[in-house]
Amino acid sequence: MNKKPKSDTNQAVVLDLGAVIATVDADQPKVLLVGADGSDARPSLPSGPFDPEGDRTMEEGLRRWVEEQTGLTVGFVEQLYTFGDLFRDPDALAGGPRSISVGYVALIRQSAAKRPAKSDWFDWYRLFPWEDWRNGRPAVLDEVLKPKISSWIDEAADAKAKRARRGRADVAFGFSDAGWDADRVLERYELLYEAGLVVETVIDGRIKTRQNQSDTLAWTGLPLHQDHRRILATALGRLRGKIRYRPVIFEVMPIEFTLLQLQRAVEALAGAPLHKQNFRRLVAAEGLVEPTGRVSSETGGRPAELFSFRPDVVRERPAPGVRMPRGRRTR
Amino acid sequence: MNKKPKSDTNQAVVLDLGAVIATVDADQPKVLLVGADGSDARPSLPSGPFDPEGDRTMEEGLRRWVEEQTGLTVGFVEQLYTFGDLFRDPDALAGGPRSISVGYVALIRQSAAKRPAKSDWFDWYRLFPWEDWRNGRPAVLDEVLKPKISSWIDEAADAKAKRARRGRADVAFGFSDAGWDADRVLERYELLYEAGLVVETVIDGRIKTRQNQSDTLAWTGLPLHQDHRRILATALGRLRGKIRYRPVIFEVMPIEFTLLQLQRAVEALAGAPLHKQNFRRLVAAEGLVEPTGRVSSETGGRPAELFSFRPDVVRERPAPGVRMPRGRRTR
DNA sequence: CCACATATGCTCAAAATAAGTATAAGTGTC
DNA sequence: GACACTTATACTTATTTTGAGCATATGTGG
């Protein structure tokens, strides 16, 4: 920053802007992927170029190409991470220019989320089956992942490496007494990648497919282009953390919603079930919503009161977000 | 990501890696700045080039040039944000290549933090005087900032804009009932920038210096090169948030420390005083540290027991960090 | 021995939280 | 229209966490 690097060092850098465009539709978390047209190519995240002459800010550039490419006008946009690892980038390995991708998360309300050309809304948990605890602990964890991870730990070169692997697995998957931490999506994905338990590892040529491995891979979610599933893992972890202290959940809600709809949306992203009575008590206490006076009769039972987001909460609360019970921990 | 942008769109991008290198020394938070040699140039954050051919990852590139330039070996490194706004960049405005800077925060223990050539450790709060509440509410807030911000609110074009400004100020500075939120460092700096209350605004030519404005500027902290103070604000906010749920504080501590030293370090970054007895109770309950059996007699009173960080906490706790009392809120 | 400093252990009341029970108000079925 | 069923919402209770302070411990320098 204080002095410009020599320009020839940097000429071979190509910068693009990637977007994780997410919503919640019918209580399911969705993400926009392109190129899932049945061909053998893996789907990928939408991305577009950054125009250094036209775009005053990168966020502006992102909004521009998202609108151009998909017709969607995204509301909430937040920069996620800048990805530049060499191994993510087969072209650069082959001598091409180095590709750097600035990743963003964008949230959009379901109502505004049409189906853009060549794109599709994918259920987020098709990519991360082990992340969805809404109906209890996912079976894939104990039936597939846990034993495979154990093997991976045992395959470590020496006792020290074994301890390190076990430690990582304990933290990421809560195998020891820490319990499952919903935010550690990226740690989990990276461990599975290194352990060769997701398709990407094999495709990247990091390990060979082993006997009996291919049926494991069938259980570990849909593979994406390059490192895009890793980017999605980053985004999901970030969003899960964020809904707790910023009212981002309302970015995916319709203008009016019932408290149960709100709860389902939070559960969809958090990947965990919430205690209904406490949820509404916390939401009420936080002052995040206000009743509109209308009711929704589409629930099948007693009609629910409709609420809307109260934007001025942020003026009153240091960390306005949806607080989520984590279950009583015995210390 | 799915298709390469046309290369001519991107050729004019220069990528560098900027570092906020921070430590805590003698209970004071410090940050490494270069070029504060008494000349009229404003100090700046250290930064270095990214070498697309040599650096496999950006983090690796960062560690490389930090070591080359300063001789420091940084421990904890985390990517912060990628800065690419056009207005940050006078060269690009003048038709030069667009400069994109990937910012990192690096933490280093005081013991390892020598004074590198051409660099200096600056007290962080010299740049953000309003952020240091360790000795109570900073006087500059009520005596200088609050009235000036009020004027800025009143200068808004119409009632709607006025409300918007007031809302922002309330949130950022806790003027309404929300109270001060230590994490909102960036929001505060950006508001001051827009209100013309920091030197950078004037230098950037966004507003003219007004009558009686220059003495205000003398109270609003040391200006840095380009948008570097903005980057520092991002870093401070991020760190303040992070110490609560990740044990990053130990990255700046010596291997052995007393609980009061630990508390002072947390206070230094958090910018707030903590209740001593409760602090040690929380730290003990979190299991973050273990006694070494030795004591330190340098305290002037009863010798304090020495503790060391227990790295395996992360295996046991979902969010191991230093919990900080925020003062009893009455809802 | 004293005054003084910091360290550390402990109590207590207030607030927040998890979990559950009870009741309200609709729907569709017969 | 009685009834089973569904969802909504109010309220109760036990427990945990937190904020704040007091009391005691163990060193220093005079």
Mean pLDDT of chain B: 83
Q: Which residues contact A160 (CB under 8 A, 6 or more apart)?
A: none
Across A72-76, A200-204, B316-320, the highest mean pLDDT is recorded for A72-76
Q: Which residue ranges does chain B devote to CATH 1.10.10.10? A: 247-315
* pLDDT score for B129: 95
For the residues A17-21, what does the mean pLDDT come to?
95
B314 — pLDDT class (breaks 50, 70, 90): low
What's the rounded Cα separation, in Å, for the pair A3 and B16?
Answer: 10
CA distance B313 to chain A (A): 9
What's the rounded Cα separation, in Å, for the pair A65 and A49?
Answer: 8
**Is B238 or B298 the better-scoring residue by pLDDT?**
B238
Give the whole-number percent of chain B exceeding pLDDT 90: 36
Question: Which architecture, in CATH terms, is A248-315?
Answer: Orthogonal Bundle (1.10)
Using one digit for the tens of pLDDT, what is the confidence trace for A94-148? 777 888 999 999 999 886 667 777 788 999 999 999 999 988 889 899 989 999 9
List the single range of A65-69, B132-136, B247-251, B312-316 with lowest mean pLDDT.
B312-316
What's the rounded Cα separation, in Å, for the pair A2 and B16?
Answer: 10
Q: How deeply is A60 buried, as exposed, middle or buried, from its count of CB atoms within 10 A (0-12, 13-18, 19+)?
A: middle
Which nt sits closest to A277, CA to C1'?
A: D9
Q: A6 to chain B: which residues are within 8 Å by CB?
A: 49
Cβ–Cβ under 8 Å, residues B12 and B84: no
Residue B8 has pLDDT above 60, yes or no: no
Contact map slice: B 210-269 vs A, CB within 8 A: 225-226, 228
The answer to whether B119 faces chain A, any CB pair under 8 Å, is no
Q: Which of B329, B24, B151 has its CA nearest to residue A316?
A: B329
**How far, in Å, is the CA of A287 from the C1' of nucleotide C22?**
25
Best of A2, A6, A314 to mutate (most B CBs within 10 Å, chain B): A2
Residue B29 has pLDDT above 90, yes or no: yes
* pLDDT score for B64: 92
Of A1, A178, A319, the CB nearest to B45: A1
A5 — pLDDT class (breaks 50, 70, 90): very low
Pick the CATH number of B247-315 from 1.25.40.10, 3.30.420.130, 1.10.10.10, 2.40.50.140: 1.10.10.10
What's the rounded Cα separation, in Å, for the pair A88 and A103?
Answer: 14
Using one digit for the tens of pLDDT, what is the confidence trace for B238-264? 999 888 878 889 999 999 999 999 999
Superfamily name with CATH number, domain B12-126? Nucleoside Triphosphate Pyrophosphohydrolase (3.90.79.10)
DSSP string of B153-183? HHTSSSHHHHHHHHHHHHHHH--STT---TT
**How far, in Å, is the CA of A277 from the C1' of nucleotide C22?**
13
CA B96, distance to chain mean position in Å, is 29
What's the rounded Cα separation, in Å, for the pair A69 and A16?
Answer: 14
Q: Which residue ranges does chain A devote to CATH 3.90.79.10? A: 12-124
Which tokens go with B213?
Answer: 């404005």
Q: Which residue ranges does chain A devote to CATH 1.10.10.10? A: 248-315
Distances in Å between the alpha carbon of B16 and those of A251, B113, B246?
33, 23, 28
Q: What is the three-class DSSP state of A35?
A: coil
CA distance B253 to chain A (A): 23
Using one digit for the tens of pLDDT, what is the confidence trace for A177-231? 667 888 899 999 999 999 989 888 776 665 555 555 666 667 788 889 888 999 9
A7 touches strand D (CB under 7 A): no
CATH topology (fold) of A12-124: Nucleoside Triphosphate Pyrophosphohydrolase (3.90.79)
